Structure 1
Amino acid sequence: MRTNLFHIVLLSIFLTMGSLKLSAQEIPSTKHAIPSVKQKDSITKSISIAPKPATTPPPTATTVNDTNKKKSDGLDAIIRRLAEDYEKIDQEKKEIELYNKAELYYKDIELKAGKIVMNYEKNEVYAGRIKDSLGNYSQYPYFKQGTNIVEADSIHINTVTKKARIWNSRSDQGEFRVFGEVTKKENDSVIFIKNARFTTSKNIKDPEYYFLAQKIKLVPGKKVVVGFTNMWIADVPTPLALPFAFFPMSEKAESGFIVPTFGDNNRQGYFLQNGGYYFALSDYYDLAVTGDYYTNGSYGLRFDSSYANKYKYNGNINIRFENLITSERGLPDYERKNQYNIQWTHNQDSKANPNSKFSASVNLGSSKYFKNSLNMNNVGSTLNNILYSSVNYSKTFQTVPQVNISLAATHNQNTNTQEINMTLPTLQASVDRIFPFAAADAPKKGIIKNINLQYNLKGENRIKTTDSLFFKSEMFRDAKVGMQHSIPISTNFKIFKHFSVSAGTNYQETWVMNTVKREFNPITNKDTLINNIRGFDSFRTYNFSSSIGTTIYGTYDFGADKKIQAIRHVMRPSISYTYTPSFDQYYDTYEIDATGTQYRSYTRFENGLFGAPSQSYSNNIGISVNNTFEAKVRDDDENAKEAKKVMLLNNLNFTTSYNMAADSLAWSPLRVSAGTNLFKEKMNLNFAATLDPYALDNANRRIDVYNINNGGSLFRLTSANVTLNYSLASTDGNGDDKDKNNQTARNGGREDDLFGRASDLSDNRTSMFKEEDENKKPDKSSGGFFNAKIPWDLTMAYSLTYSNDRREKKISGSSLMVSGNVDITPRWKMGVSTGYDFVQNGVTFTQLRFERDLLSWRMDFNWVPFGTNMYWGFFIGIKSSVLSDIKWDKRQVPDRRLQ
Structure 2
Amino acid sequence: MRSNYFQILLALSFTVLINTFGYSQDLPKPVKVVKATPEEDPIFTPIISVDSLAVSQINERAQDSVKHDSVKQKKEFLTDIVTYTAKDFTSFNKLEQKLYLYNEAEVDYQDMNIKAGIIVIDYSKNEVYAGRLKDSLGEYSQKPVFTQGQSVVEPDSIRFNFDTQKALIFNSKTEQSGFNIIAPIVKKENDSVIYMAKAKFTTAEDIENPEYYFKASKIKYVPDKKVVVGPTNMVIADVPTPIAVPFGFFPLTDKQTSGIIIPSFGEDSDRGYFLQNGGYYFAMSDYADLTILGDYYTNGSYGLNIESNYAVKYKFSGSMSFRYESLIESEKGFPDYSKSTIYNIRWSHSQDSKSSPNSSFSASVNLGSSKYYQTSINQLNTGNYLNNTLSSSVSYSKSFTGDPQVNFSVAATHSQNTQTEVINMSLPSMSGSVGRVYPFEPKTGSKKGIIENINFQYSVNAENQIETTDSLFFKPQMFKDAEAGVRHSIPLSTNFKLFDYLSLSMGTSFEENWTFKTINRYYDQDLEEEVTETINGFDAYRTYNFSTSLGTTIYGMFDFKKEGKDPKIQAIRHVMTPSISYSLTPSFDQYYDTYEVISTEGTALETYSRFEESIYGAPNENFSSSLGLSISNNLEAKVKDNDSTATEAKKVTLLNSLTFSTSYNFAGDSLQWSPLRISGGTSILDSKMNINFGATLDPYALDNNNSKVDVYNINNNGSLFRLTSANLTLSYSLSNELFGGESKENDKGIQENLRGGGRDDDLFGISQDFSNNSFFDDKEDEEDEDEEDKNEFYRYKIPWTLNLAYAVNYSNSTRNNEISSHSLMFSGDVSLSPRWSVGVSSGYDFKDMGFTYTQLRLERDLLSWRMNFSWVPFGTSKSWYFFIGIKSSILSDLKYDKRLQSDKSL
Distance in 1 of aligned mates of 2:291 and 2:784 = 34
- Residues 121/368 of structure 1: CA separation in 2 closer, same or farther (3 Å cut): same
Match of residue 618, structure 2, among 587, 612, 620: 612
- Matched with 2:559 is 557
Distance in 2 of aligned mates of 1:854 and 1:647 = 46
- Matched with 1:643 is 649
Q: CA deviation digits over 1:450-473, x for unaligned, max 9?
A: 000000101100011111111111
Distance in 1 of aligned mates of 2:780 and 2:223 = 30
Assess if the C-alpha contact under 8 Å between 1:61 and 1:78 holds in 2: no
- State the shift of 1:524 in Å: 4.0
TM-score (norm 2): 0.89
Identity %: 57
Distance in 1 of aligned mates of 2:95 and 2:889 = 54
- Matched with 1:419 is 422
Counterparts in 2 of 1:307-706, with a 5 A limit? 307-439=310-442, 441-530=444-533, 532-559=534-561, 561-594=566-599, 597-706=603-712
Q: CA deviation digits over 1:351-375, x for unaligned, max 9?
A: 1111111111111111111111111
- State the shift of 1:62 in Å: 2.9
Distance in 1 of aligned mates of 2:865 and 2:825 = 32
- State the shift of 1:708 in Å: 1.8
Assess if the C-alpha contact under 8 Å between 1:376 and 1:761 holds in 2: no
- Matched with 2:217 is 214
- Matched with 2:290 is 287
Assess if the C-alpha contact under 8 Å between 1:791 and 1:823 holds in 2: yes
- Residues 587/74 of structure 1: CA separation in 2 closer, same or farther (3 Å cut): closer
Is 1:62 aligned to residue 68 of structure 2?
A: no
Bigger shift: residues 74-83 or 322-331: 74-83
Assess if the C-alpha contact under 8 Å between 2:773 and 2:889 holds in 1: no
- Matched with 1:118 is 121
- Matched with 2:803 is 795
Bigger shift: residues 481-490 or 740-749: 740-749
Assess if the C-alpha contact under 8 Å between 1:778 and 1:826 holds in 2: no
Match of residue 824, structure 1, among 832, 836, 840: 832
Assess if the C-alpha contact under 8 Å between 1:274 and 1:762 holds in 2: no
- Matched with 1:841 is 849
Counterparts in 2 of 1:217-296, with a 5 A limit? 217-296=220-299
- Matched with 2:13 is none
- State the shift of 1:98 in Å: 2.0
- State the shift of 1:687 in Å: 0.4
Assess if the C-alpha contact under 8 Å between 2:778 and 2:888 holds in 1: no
Which letter does structure 2 place at the counterpart of 1:695? Answer: A
Alignment partner of 1:742: what SS?
A: helix
Alignment partner of 2:655: what SS?
A: strand
Alignment partner of 1:731: what SS?
A: helix
Which letter does structure 2 place at the counterpart of 1:713? Answer: S
- Residues 624/638 of structure 1: CA separation in 2 closer, same or farther (3 Å cut): same
Give the gaps of 5 or more residues in structure 1. 1-59
Alignment partner of 1:329: what SS?
A: coil
Assess if the C-alpha contact under 8 Å between 1:765 and 1:858 holds in 2: no
Is 1:889 aligned to residue 870 of structure 2?
A: no
Match of residue 816, structure 2, among 791, 808, 822: 808
Assess if the C-alpha contact under 8 Å between 1:460 and 1:483 holds in 2: yes
Assess if the C-alpha contact under 8 Å between 1:185 and 1:191 holds in 2: yes
Distance in 1 of aligned mates of 2:304 and 2:414 = 24
Counterparts in 2 of 1:127-206, with a 5 A limit? 127-132=130-135, 134-206=137-209
TM-score (norm 1): 0.90
Distance in 2 of aligned mates of 1:112 and 1:684 = 60
Distance in 2 of aligned mates of 1:680 and 1:815 = 24
Alignment partner of 1:786: what SS?
A: coil
Assess if the C-alpha contact under 8 Å between 1:503 and 1:547 holds in 2: yes
Match of residue 869, structure 1, among 856, 877, 884: 877
Q: CA deviation digits over 1:418-440, x for unaligned, max 9?
A: 11111110011000000111246
Q: CA deviation digits over 1:487-534, x for unaligned, max 9?
A: 00000000111111101000000000111222112234332333x321
Q: CA deviation digits over 1:121-161, x for unaligned, max 9?
A: 43311111113465322211111111111111111111232
Alignment partner of 2:661: what SS?
A: strand
Assess if the C-alpha contact under 8 Å between 2:77 and 2:163 holds in 1: no
Give the gaps of 5 or more residues in structure 2. 1-40, 49-62, 67-72
- Residues 220/735 of structure 1: CA separation in 2 closer, same or farther (3 Å cut): closer
Q: CA deviation digits over 1:200-255, x for unaligned, max 9?
A: 11111111000001111111111111111111000010111112222221111111
Distance in 2 of aligned mates of 1:535 and 1:327 = 52
Distance in 2 of aligned mates of 1:153 and 1:782 = 30
Assess if the C-alpha contact under 8 Å between 2:886 and 2:894 holds in 1: yes
Distance in 1 of aligned mates of 2:792 and 2:855 = 33
Assess if the C-alpha contact under 8 Å between 2:879 and 2:900 holds in 1: yes
Distance in 2 of aligned mates of 1:772 and 1:670 = 57
Counterparts in 2 of 1:683-832, with a 5 A limit? 683-731=689-737, 739-740=747-748, 741-760=750-769, 763=772, 766-767=775-776, 771=779, 773=781, 779-780=787-788, 786-832=794-840
Which letter does structure 1 place at the counterpart of 2:869? Answer: F
- Matched with 2:60 is none
Distance in 2 of aligned mates of 1:484 and 1:854 = 62
Assess if the C-alpha contact under 8 Å between 2:594 and 2:607 holds in 1: yes
- Residues 515/93 of structure 1: CA separation in 2 closer, same or farther (3 Å cut): same
Distance in 1 of aligned mates of 2:903 and 2:458 = 57
Distance in 1 of aligned mates of 2:585 and 2:116 = 90
Q: CA deviation digits over 1:826-877, x for unaligned, max 9?
A: 1100011111000011111111111111011111111111100101111111
- Residues 753/525 of structure 1: CA separation in 2 closer, same or farther (3 Å cut): same
Which letter does structure 2 place at the counterpart of 1:170? Answer: K
**Structure having greater relative contact order (Cα 8 Å, sep ≥ 6):** 1
- Residues 357/765 of structure 1: CA separation in 2 closer, same or farther (3 Å cut): closer
Distance in 1 of aligned mates of 2:616 and 2:698 = 30
Distance in 2 of aligned mates of 1:822 and 1:423 = 45
Alignment partner of 2:256: what SS?
A: coil
Which letter does structure 1 place at the counterpart of 2:566? Answer: D
Alignment partner of 1:210: what SS?
A: strand
Q: How many residues align?
A: 837
Distance in 2 of aligned mates of 1:194 and 1:738 = 42
Alignment partner of 2:891: what SS?
A: coil
Alignment partner of 2:275: what SS?
A: strand
Bigger shift: residues 96-105 or 256-265: 96-105
Distance in 1 of aligned mates of 2:148 and 2:171 = 18
- Residues 293/713 of structure 1: CA separation in 2 closer, same or farther (3 Å cut): same
Structure with greater Cα Rg:
2
Distance in 1 of aligned mates of 2:746 and 2:211 = 29
Alignment partner of 1:497: what SS?
A: coil
- State the shift of 1:716 in Å: 1.1
Assess if the C-alpha contact under 8 Å between 1:264 and 1:271 holds in 2: yes
Assess if the C-alpha contact under 8 Å between 2:116 and 2:130 holds in 1: yes
